[in-house]
Amino acid sequence: MKRSLNQSAEAPATICAASAPAAPQLPMSRREMDELGWDTCDIIIVTGDAYVDHPSFGMAVIGRVLEAHGFRVGIISQPDWHSADAFRALGRPRLFYGVTAGNMDSMVNRYTSERRIRSEDAYSPDGAAGLRPDRAVTVYAQRCREAFKGVPVIIGSIEASLRRIAHYDYWSDTVRRSVLPDSKAEMLVYGNAERQIVEIAKRLDAGESVTEMGFMRGTAVMRREVPAGWTEIASTEVDTPGELITHADPYAMQEEKQSATCSTGASAPADAPTQAQPIRIFLRRLDAAHTVIRMPSFEQVKDDPVLYAHASRLMHLETNPGNARALVQRHGERDVWLNPPPIPLTTPEMDWVFGLPYSRRPHDSYGRSKIPAYEMIKTSVNIMRGCFGGCTFCSITEHEGRIIQSRSEDSIVREIEAIRDKTPGFAGVISDLGGPTANMYRLACKSREIEAACRLPSCVFPDICKNLNTDHAPLIHLYRRARALPGIKKVFIASGLRYDLAVRSPEYVEELATHHVGGYLKIAPEHTEDGPLGKMMKPGVGSFEAFRKLFDHFSAKAGKKQYLIPYFIAAHPGTTDEDMLNLALWLKHNHFKPDQVQAFLPSPMATASAMYHSGRNPLRRIGRNSELVFTPKRKKQRELHKAFLRYHDPANWPLLREALKKMGRSELIGSGNQCLVPAGAEQSNIVGRFESRQRKNGGNWKRRKKK
């Protein structure tokens, strides 16, 4: 048997390969296959996005990686899912179908945080909506199985990653099964998945079956039972949930088999965290290579929010590739077996992936149609992957991991030169050098041993870890080299900035403010109050103020008038009406008037989503009497929280007046500088002026009605 690419955490095999002859674009039709001299495809990737042959698009990265390893890869983009016919367009794949919903979760892509249908899809030609189904991974996988029976189906993408175990689904307000049994796929790959997909292709090509690959890192498969030779332990032994209610034991994973190991009533072990502690750094280690942790079953977490929070906490404890163990969760008569995360790519591997021969443009079949997501990123460069911030509302860490994977400076420069030389109409402006976070490039733990053992969900909360290297010098050098390239007039930084890290390097803030901001810099403090910030795992507003002071100082020093555009989240778990009022007062005091505001959207598998659903805090030990988390769920309250962010909009004043009176804060209604909204007597004149301006802009509904 071939050695697994993911077999060793210490010395993982490289994914790089000697480049095979590359197609100008991966084929999307039989005609293109004929032009390439192909009678069949080895692998067909089915995607919910328009096919853009660019390293920012997942289907292009996976396709080009497989192509470089000698495989013939075809693309079926946004097929009509109402029958299997469109899934037969390229014939029967020799090895497998690879199914992805696209760069975004299909539900997040289609619905707003208020469950309204979006009018546009940025990943479709001309932004057309409705070209992919809801829960696209499941639908596409089922159609692939109908198209050609017996062809393995491998599912991936962020949609599959975030649904790899039983998960809360905001759109149906239920806990749904893992996407793996729902899709009936043979295997799920999670994360960016280059390692897994290359190994799967090579082993299938060598005649192995998917069943023989069941212990590959970064994958999930279905099993009937735990294989021989594995030690199964109950999740309650890993993270003791504390005293439970006395009726039927909800932690019994399997009534008889687990009774010996499921210590539901036992006292916590000596190293268990107290109620006030965050997730501990170290846990008892068994032989991780042959240990599997039994999570509460789908049927249990579906009906018990406390068990759901416990399962969520456990899953996040087991996400470090250096110490994670396999997880297993019963779904009916079978188990979802979740292997530990893949080993992150090395810098040479990252360089190789981004250096493949992408055409860097949409497929020719789209003609003159514009794909908004491509238009947004076509002159931007992704310099790294991963995020160690651990923000509970964000799913980047669950998908890409918390270990930063950085490209080399030379690789990034080569891509900038390719943009300059190959992009039609290029005006000399690079729109972004970034990634999930703009300033985590080459930041990592100072000790590999500590990093491999750590189980903290964040390296920067509640404060920056003393073991974290926060040196921004490599990033500063990259910026300077990038903007010095011939033909490059400006390099902007548009990715989200971690300002608590930035203030550790005033030289970086000066570099940013002097050369890389075009008047406005977007930044995301998310809130000002400790209650919601603690549930978000975001730094206090003091860090933002420190950054703003540096930013303003260096902007003035450079002779520039530049402004911060702060972003905030309304209705996040842990947020009260008083918190939003205090945020609104802070906004007014600082003369911020947000135009676009965001209400919390519970994405699958995020820690904040577990708070939203369960009313518990998975950042602490979970038990029947553990910390309760209040979440604004009612429509009117969510609207109020958004209205506080747009306190300056006359349309929100009636709602805010009513709320302020109920909160006993009527002194904030009036015309004084300390007031948040004007009194009702003033409303008619102010709104009249507001509507007059709207009529001049053609935006008043009465004028449209007259027409």
Residue 148 lies in a domain: yes
Phi, psi of 267 (to 5 degrees): -75, 160
Contact, 456 vs 281, CB < 8 A? Answer: yes
Other Cβ atoms closer than 10 A to 24: 12
Contact 155, 179 (CB under 8 A): yes
The answer to whether 514 touches 551, Cβ cutoff 8 Å, is no
Q: What does the block give as tokens for 187? A: 């295997």
Read off the DSSP letter of residue 212.
Answer: G
The tokens describing 91, both together, are 């014939």
pLDDT(155) > 90: yes
Which residues share a beta bridge with 565? 522
Largest CA distance in the chain: 81
Please state the pTM of the whole predicted model. Answer: 0.87
Which residue is it, tokens 């993982």? 12
Residue 401 lies in a domain: no
Cβ-based burial of 343 (10 A; exposed 0-12, middle 13-18, buried ≥19): buried
DSSP state of 72: -
Q: Say which amino acid occupies 37.
A: G
Condensed to tens digits (0 to 9), the pLDDT of residues 650-675 reads 999 999 999 999 999 999 999 999 99
Quick one: which H or E segment has residue 174?
strand 174-176
CB atoms within 10 A of CB 538: 26
What are the tokens at 144? 């692939």
Q: Specify if 122 maps to a domain.
A: yes
339 vs 345: CA distance, rounded Å:
18
Closest CA to 558 of 520, 521, 512: 512
What is the distance between the alpha carbons of residues 547 and 371, in angstroms, rounded to a whole number? 35
Residue bearing tokens 């009497």: 625
Compute the half-sphere exposure of residue 44: CA atoms within 13 Å on the CB side of its CA. Answer: 30
Side chain identity, residue 160: A
| pLDDT range class, residue 236, cuts 50, 70, 90 | confident
- CA–CA separation, 471 vs 224, rounded Å? 49
Does residue 3 register a pLDDT over 50? no
Task: Indicate the pLDDT class of residue 268, thresholds 50, 70 and 90.
Answer: very low
Using CA atoms, how far apart are residues 8 and 340, in angstroms rounded to an integer? 12
Give CA–CA dist 705/702, Å, rounded: 5
Torsions phi, psi for 578 (to 5 deg): -65, -40
Structure tokens at 285: 């280690």
Helix residue ranges per DSSP H, 590-651: 607-614, 635-645
Task: Please check whether residue 76 lies inside any domain of the structure.
Answer: yes
**Contact between 292 and 139 (Cβ < 8 Å):** no
**Those residues with Cβ within 8 angstroms of residue 408's Cβ, 6 or more apart along the chain or in another chain:** 347, 348, 350, 351
Report yes or no on 173 lying in a domain: yes
Would you say 353 and 345 are in contact if contact means Cβ atoms under 8 Å apart? yes
Q: How far apart are CA 127 and CA 145, in angstroms?
A: 29
In this prediction, residue 272 has a pLDDT band, given cuts at 50, 70 and 90, of very low
Band (pLDDT 50/70/90 cuts) for residue 510 is very high
Point out which residues pair with 234 in neighbouring strands: 294
Would you say 330 and 252 are in contact if contact means Cβ atoms under 8 Å apart?
A: no
Alpha-carbon distance 317 to 307, whole Å?
A: 15
Cβ atoms of 183 and 142 closer than 8 Å: yes
Residue 102 phi/psi, 5-degree rounding, is 120, -170
CATH number for the domain that contains residue 175: 3.40.50.280
Per-residue HEC secondary structure of 673-686 comes to CCCCECCHHHHHHH
pLDDT at 16 (0 to 100): 79
Dist CA 260 CA 233 (whole Å): 10
At 536 the three-state DSSP class reads helix
- The whole-number pLDDT of residue 20 equals 61
CB 374 within 8 A of CB 351: no
CA gap 231, 288 in Å, rounded? 9
Q: Give the C-alpha separation, 105 to 101, whole Å.
A: 6
Model confidence band, residue 248 (pLDDT cutoffs 50, 70, 90): very low
Overall average pLDDT of the 376-397 stretch: 95
Residue environment code for 295-310, b if the CB has 16+ CB neighbours within 10 A, otherwise e: bbbbebbbebbbbbbb
pLDDT at 678 > cutoff 80 = yes
Band the pLDDT of 263: cuts 50, 70, 90.
Answer: very low
| Domain that residue 165 falls in | 30-217
CA atoms within 13 Å, Cβ hemisphere of 592: 21
Instruction: Return the HEC string of 398-419.
Output: HHHCCCCEECCHHHHHHHHHHH
Q: Look at the chain and count its residues.
A: 707
321 pLDDT higher than 60 = yes
Locate 299 and state its tokens: 């049927």
What's the pLDDT score for residue 288? 61
Contact between 32 and 41 under an 8 Å Cβ cutoff? The reply is no
* HSE, side-chain direction, 13 A CA sphere, residue 642: 17
Give the list of residues 6+ apart from residue 323 with CB closer than 8 angstroms, or none: 285, 288, 452, 453, 454, 455
CA torsion through residues 33, 38, 40, 43, sign: negative
Is 581 a member of any domain?
no
Number of domains in the chain: 1
Band the pLDDT of 184: cuts 50, 70, 90: very high
Helical pair 58-68 and 194-205, crossing angle rounded to 10 deg: 40
Of 610, 612, 629, which Cα lies nearest the Cα of 296? 610
Q: Is residue 125 part of a domain?
A: yes
Cα gap 491→515, rounded to integer Å? 8
Q: Who wins on pLDDT, 683 or 128?
A: 128
Mean pLDDT across the stretch 169-182?
98
Can you give the pLDDT at residue 696? Answer: 53
Distance in angstroms (rounded) separating the CA atoms of residues 402 and 306: 26
How far, in Å, CA of 201 to CA of 216, rounded? 13
**Other CB atoms within 10 A of residue 455 CB:** 17
Mean pLDDT on 79-106 = 98
CA distance 448 to 20: 35
Strands (E), 54-150: 73-77, 96-100
Residue 48 lies in a domain: yes
pLDDT for 387-431, tens place per residue?
999 999 998 888 999 999 999 999 999 999 999 998 989 999 999
Q: Position 530: which residue type?
A: D
pLDDT band at 36, cuts 50/70/90? very high
| CA-closest candidate to residue 233, choices 282, 286, 292 | 292
The region, left, alpha or beta by phi > 0 then psi within -120 to 50, assigned to residue 617 is beta
Strand extents, DSSP E, 28-144? 43-47, 52-53, 73-77, 96-100
For the beta carbon of residue 265, count every other beta carbon within 10 angstroms. 10
Q: Which helix (H) or strand (E) holds 308?
A: helix 305-317
